[in-house]
Structure 1
Amino acid sequence: MKSHQTTQTMKPATAAKKLGVYLPATPQEFQDGVVTRSELNELQANPPAWLQELRGNGPHPRPVVAAKLGVSIAGLARGGVTEPLTTEQIEALKQDRPEWLEKERATQAEVRQEAVRIKEKKAEQDQRS
């Protein structure tokens, strides 16, 4: 007897998240359908023009905007950034260096330093054990 293997599918929102793109900016046929695991792998390996355009110029979803600015998603919200931004808008923010952005970058740097300190402390404790 052969076992039937079902094709793993995901909602367009999940696929967009995995691709790092803003779902409402994707083509309508992408938004309306379902995406199989093999289709997702193909999109990642050989991105079509629309995907390359979105990844390059946006609009970008909040996690991508936060990463490009070097802040957390919560930091974006505290800074009043609630909408997706294009690459051009992100670059303008980097150039303008508003006070909230500098503060959030400093906060993010502290969080990263603390995470490294905790990791090192845990590794040290594990060595002693």
Structure 2
Amino acid sequence: MKPQTMKAATAAKKLGVYLPATPPEFREREISRTELDELLAEPPAWLQALRAEGPHPRDVVARKLGVSNSGLARGGVTEALTTSEIKALLADPPAWLVSERATQAAVRAENARVKQRDAERARRSDDQAG
């Protein structure tokens, strides 16, 4: 039976790394599920370095900055950033980052409120049913 494979872009996403920064031998072929599992279990030096120093893909940059992917775009961040660039932004945040972090915090608070409300409704519904 032929092993299940994925495109390098898919494997990079699962590994949380920026595809163009990966070595050519990773980037230029399909990756088997077994190879991906091995990379996750015992990351080679290049993978450890990418995860620690970057450049990082958009979703990782957004998470590290505490904003959404859309917030990155609104802030004009279109390129992958390194860990040191992310730390520099956090140390001296530009106005767009302060604004986007506040927006993200408000979204999280609203999501928590809705989740709590729905849980209370479900509990009351269970109480009435039982």
Which bin holds the TM-score, normalised by the shorter protein?
over 0.9
**Displacement of 1:128:** 1.6
Tell me the SS of whatever aligns to 1:30: helix
Alignment partners' CA distance in 1, 2:111 and 2:117: 10
Matched with 1:96 is 92
Structure 2 residue 14 is the aligned partner of structure 1 residue 18: yes
1:36 to partner: Cα distance: 1.1
Q: Deviations over 1:2-23 (max 9, x none)?
A: xx5x422110000000000000
TM value normalised by structure 2: 0.93
Q: Distance in 2 between matches of 1:8 and 1:120?
A: 41
**Pairing of 1:28-107 with structure 2 (within 5 A):** 28-107=24-103
Helix, strand or coil for the counterpart of 2:98?
helix
- Cα separation, 1, equivalents of 2:59 and 2:12: 12
| Equivalent position amino acid for 1:60 in 2 | H
Q: Which whole-Å CA distance do the structure 1 matches of 2:119 and 2:56 have between them?
A: 37
Gaps in structure 1 of 5+ consecutive residues: none
Provide TM-score, normalisation by structure 1: 0.94
**Paired residues, number:** 125
CA deviation profile, 1:6-51 (whole Å, cap 9, x unmatched): 4221100000000000000000010111111111111011000000
Displaced runs of 4+ in structure 1, greater than 2 A? Answer: none
| Secondary structure in 2 matching 1:33 | coil
CA drift of 1:65 comes to 0.3
SS for the counterpart of 2:40 is helix
The separation in 1 between residues aligned to 2:107 and 2:33, in whole angstroms, is: 34
Q: Distance in 2 between matches of 1:79 and 1:107?
A: 13
SS of aligned partner of 2:12: helix
Matched residue type, 1:107:
T
Query: 1:56 & 1:13 partners in 2: Cα distance?
Result: 19
- How far apart are 1:82 and its partner, in Å? 0.5
Q: Distance in 1 between matches of 2:80 and 2:105?
A: 23
Task: State the partner residue of 1:127.
Answer: 123
